[in-house]
Chain A
Amino acid sequence: MSQPAKPAPQPAGRAAAKKELPEHFKAYKHVWVFIEQERGHVHPVSWELMGSGRRLADKLGVELAAVVIGPTGDATKAAVAESFCYGADLAYVVADDVLTDYRNESYTKALTDLVNTHKPEILLLGATTLGRDLAGAVATTLLTGLTADCTELEVDSDNSLAATRPTFGGSLLCTIYTLNFRPQMATVRPRVMSMPDRVEKPVGRVIEFPLGLVEADIVTKILAFVPDRDKATSNLAYADIVVAGGLGLASPENFQLVRQLAGVLGAEYGCSRPLVQKGWVSADRQIGQTGKTIRPKLYIAAGISGAIQHRVGVDGSDLIVAINTDKNAPIFDFAHLALVTDAIRLLPALTEAFRKRLSAHTRDRIAS
């Protein structure tokens, strides 16, 4: 610590960011989407990303590739075939039984080797537990930029990836570029992008790639996998109808009013962040920036004021109905239908009215 200090370099300013891409990165072309498989199923976020990936690739005039990493066998083959139906021009496949279950070491090696060999310009992954675990490790290994939880992906006028994400707890949005490094990496949460149409397209190029690892090379071992028993909790993001409650419900007992309405509608129920923080509702029911993103056909928000964090999680809903006593609550800025009233009083009436309406419907059908 007593050494004479070298002349200190100046802290970098934004102007230090060069715009010219280093020569060796100019070979990086094409858009890749990591197809997330866990236990034989492709996570739907991968197909949602294929929709964005297709758009980016078309704008850049390049190809869209699916990256399928998994065990040998039917599930991986099916994932490859399905990726063509969702718009992939080609698929890079690393199939090895060592890859049966996700482990960071093996998947990081597979994906970084693929990138170093085939050089994509853009690499997209789902912001799931698996995707975030993998993306962070791969980006650091490749020493490139990674933008988390993007809500919008665009290509700007000079063909850079413009990745927009909420910042500061969702109060603002920011657009982030990876200027001098490749690939440009981004993750997107499930349900943020809409699901593209599936088109029968059985053909596409397949490029197989070896893993270059055997089981003995991998330190981490999987001792067991315990699947979730309560499947319903993970359906919130994919529900057609969602009813949620917020602080306006005033007490944990009143949250059952939300559950009762959801029950009558065959809907999933959720809540805003404060209710999780207060311990009224479990964390897997939280809707918003740090919880689940939803895209239902109908969303009923009862006693939720609608902080921007909440808005980010529900903006893709087809019809947002807000019930709140405060007519100036921010939720009325992005809801479609507003009822300025006390949710505690309205919810039981609404449950009863829906019950009647839907059972009347049943009678009509039986009569006809």
Chain B
Amino acid sequence: MHIVVCIKQVPDSAQIRVHPVTNTIMRQGVPTIINPYDLFALEEALRLRDKFGGEVTVLTMGPPTAEDSLRKALTIGANRAVLLTDRFFAGSDTLATSYALAAAIRKIGSTFGAVDVVFTGKQTIDGDTAQVGPGICKRLDFLQLTYVSKVSSLDLDARTIEVERRSEGGVQVLRSNLPCLITMLEGTNQVRRGSMINALNAARAEVVKWSAQDAGVEDIQKCGLRGSPTVVKRVFAPTPRAEKAKVVEAAGQPPAEALIDEIFKLRPKLENEMFELARGF
């Protein structure tokens, strides 16, 4: 069995700063990590490989420095790493990204063995769109299984897979076919720690580096900014509210009482509504 896991190297979002004048993101000095959601996808892929045999190839698209994340994934246990990197990919939106990644996955299939399952995290913590997974899936014409919390069973002979999938009101239990693309929910498994042997091997391992041409991208016009139907017109900071919060002064009474007085003074109707709500408990 051959599984491809798509990961993304993302800035640790808690540490991003914005340039006060140009309103651009200051990436310098911001540590990068593997998108945390992708780690659950990687772990699930490794579990299937451990159970059914085969290989896990980890794939990312990004600048040359994204190699760091691939080595981390090798340390955790992936068999092979592919870095798709080319200046023509710069500025890709989710549609252009899915085009390039799908091309790379086809190439991975023809080079290293047919792909049975593609895994990825439910979304990234920087873009937050959850669109690239479905995008890759449609480009490859695979079956789409998003927000998966559990892969319950897999039958390589019958080419079927059963998963539990999160929906708004509950859990769908689905049976589908291979090849499929799965986006994993967070917290679905305990991501393993890399072993010392893996770490040593990862440091020495060759990361496969492909340009657009190497990956067999057919139409460069469908990549990068040029291939992106969405265009960012304006980036701006949220407007500050005109007034700052009114500071509650506890003049001679307990602060809790003073706060409640202020709340009911500002929203007189709330008192009755809260009474109704509280009565229910």
B-binding residues in A (CB < 8 A): 1, 5, 8-9, 11-14, 16-17, 38-39, 41, 43, 101-105, 108, 128-130, 132-133, 135-137, 139-141, 143-149, 162, 166-169, 171-181, 219-228, 234, 240-241, 263-267, 283, 289-290, 297-298, 307-309, 311, 318-322, 331-341, 346, 349-350, 352-354, 357-358, 361-362, 365
Contacting residues, chain B, for A105 (C-beta < 8 A)? 143-144
- Size of interface on B: residues with Cβ below 8 Å to A: 96
* Contact indicator A136/B130 (Cβ below 8 Å): yes
Given contacts A148-B129, A172-B236, A267-B277, contact A333 B226 (CB under 8 A): no
Confirm or deny: B21 has a beta carbon within 8 angstroms of a beta carbon on chain A. no
* Contact indicator A337/B245 (Cβ below 8 Å): yes
Confirm or deny: B251 has a beta carbon within 8 angstroms of a beta carbon on chain A. no
* Contact indicator B146/A290 (Cβ below 8 Å): no
A-binding residues in B (CB < 8 A): 11, 13-14, 16-18, 23, 25, 87-88, 90-91, 93-95, 98, 125-135, 137-139, 143-147, 162, 166-177, 186-187, 213-214, 220-221, 224-238, 240-241, 244-248, 254-257, 259-260, 262-263, 266-267, 270-271, 273-275, 277-281
* Contact indicator B246/A177 (Cβ below 8 Å): no
What's the Cα separation between A298 and B172 when bound, in Å? Answer: 34
* Contact indicator A137/B256 (Cβ below 8 Å): no
Most chain B CB atoms below 10 A, which of A17, A38, A105, A168: A168
* Contact indicator B229/A298 (Cβ below 8 Å): no
* Contact indicator B144/A133 (Cβ below 8 Å): yes
Instruction: Give me 19 other A-B pairs in contact (C-beta within 8 A), A337-B248, A358-B278 excluded.
Output: A1-B213, A11-B226, A12-B91, A13-B225, A38-B168, A38-B169, A104-B134, A108-B138, A143-B95, A145-B229, A177-B231, A224-B172, A225-B170, A241-B274, A333-B240, A337-B263, A350-B259, A354-B256, A362-B275
Shortest beta-carbon distance from B191 to chain A in Å: 14
* Contact indicator B230/A147 (Cβ below 8 Å): yes
* Contact indicator A136/B13 (Cβ below 8 Å): no
Q: Which one, A104, A220, A361, contacts B275 given CB within 8 A?
A: A361
Q: What would be 18 A-B contacts, judged by CB atoms less than 8 Å apart?
A: A9-B221, A41-B169, A104-B134, A105-B143, A135-B131, A136-B134, A140-B95, A145-B230, A146-B230, A148-B127, A171-B17, A179-B231, A219-B177, A266-B279, A298-B267, A333-B241, A334-B241, A336-B245
Given contacts A140-B135, A223-B162, A338-B247, contact A101 B274 (CB under 8 A): no
* Contact indicator B267/A9 (Cβ below 8 Å): no
What's the Cα separation between A17 and B227 when bound, in Å? Answer: 10
* Contact indicator A141/B173 (Cβ below 8 Å): no
Q: Which one, A177, A266, A361, contacts B230 given CB within 8 A?
A: A177
Shortest beta-carbon distance from B56 to chain A in Å: 24
Contacting residues, chain B, for A223 (C-beta < 8 A)? 162, 173-175
* Contact indicator A341/B144 (Cβ below 8 Å): no
Shortest beta-carbon distance from A167 to chain B in Å: 7
Contacting residues, chain B, for A1 (C-beta < 8 A)? 213-214
